[in-house]
Amino acid sequence: MPTRDELSKYYSTSAQFSPVHHQQNDWPYEIANGEFTAYMVPPHDVGGQADSPVRYEEKEEELWELNTYVTCEVLGWRGIWNSEERRRRGNNDLGASLYYGFPYYGRWIWSAARMLVDKNHVTLTELLEKVAEVKARNEQR
């Protein structure tokens, strides 16, 4: 369990990701139509947005990234999800904060975990227990 101080840090960090946190009245009764349209723009549809040049780098692949790619593909191969239905939507429709905040394959593995729970292949408790087990196993090393 996180301490009160830790929780406070997490909340203040997530408030920086999400502009809505900065509104005192965060229970809107109505929103302007333009605001609705803005919320509806899918974060992965980036065509035509303004931006400035950056330095394009090559990146070596982490082992977990390759494993994530393979796990997601094999889940598709074995019919657990198909790439259109849950896979692509899961990777992309995360909301702008997670979409831009997570690494590319972070979005993939997050959506795979979420799908396993959504489709009742594992319970949320099983997933959390497994995560804790993997963490403990690696701390022992």
Partner 1 sequence: MSHSHDHDHEHDHEHPAAPMVEEITDFEVLEIAVRELAIEKGLFTAEDHRKFTEWAEQIGPAAGSRLVAKAWTDPAYKARVLNDAVEACKEIGIDWTEPTGSGTPSDYMNLRVLEDTPTLHHVIVCTLCSCYPRPLLGHSPYWYRSPNYRRRLIRWPRQVLAEFGLLMSPEVEIRVEDSNQKCRFMVLPARPGGTEGWSEEQLAEIVTRDTMIGVALPRAGRTADDTRPVHKARRPVPHETEARP
Identity of the residue numbered 94: L
Q: Could you tell me the sign of the dihedral formed by the alpha carbons of 4, 5, 9, 15, in that order?
A: positive
Nearer residue to partner 1 within complex by CB, 36 or 67: 67
Whether 104 sits among the annotated catalytic residues: the reply is yes
Tell me: does residue 122 bind partner 1 (CB under 8 A).
Answer: yes
Sites for partner 1 among residues 82-101 (CB under 8 A): 82-84, 87-88, 91-92, 100
Identity of the residue numbered 58: E
Task: Sort 92 into a burial class: Cβ within 10 Å, 0-12 / 13-18 / 19+.
Answer: middle
Nearer residue to partner 1 within complex by CB, 32 or 59: 59
Specify whether the CB–CB gap between 94 and 102 falls below 8 A. Answer: yes
Tell me: does residue 121 bind partner 1 (CB under 8 A).
Answer: yes
Tell me: does residue 113 bind partner 1 (CB under 8 A).
Answer: yes
Tell me: does residue 51 bind partner 1 (CB under 8 A).
Answer: yes
